[in-house]
Amino acid sequence: MTEEEQKLWRKILVELFKQFPDLNPKIAKVLEKTFTYELEKHDNYTYYSVRYSITPTGELIVDWESAELTMF
């Protein structure tokens, strides 16, 4: 994994923990404009795919409204 990819994953994890602090969020997959994340509640796992963008200043913008339930 490149340094840029590592930075992106860290930014995504920060946003996931802000959005879902009690659901043990994890990154399942990161693509160019979407990522898939896992949420756990009572040993049940759910996966969602969501769109994101990076601003010219490097800020991660997650479009939480685009989140779709998915299979992983």
Residue 41's pLDDT is 87
Report domain 3-70's class.
alpha beta
For residue range 15-57, what is the model confidence (pLDDT) as tens digits? 999 999 999 999 999 999 999 999 998 889 999 999 999 999 9
Over residues 6-19, mean pLDDT: 97
Closest CA to 31 of 61, 9, 7, 56: 9
Residue 32's pLDDT is 94
Query: Do residues 48 and 63 touch, judged by C-beta distance below 8 A?
Result: no
pTM of the model: 0.91
Residue 57's pLDDT is 95
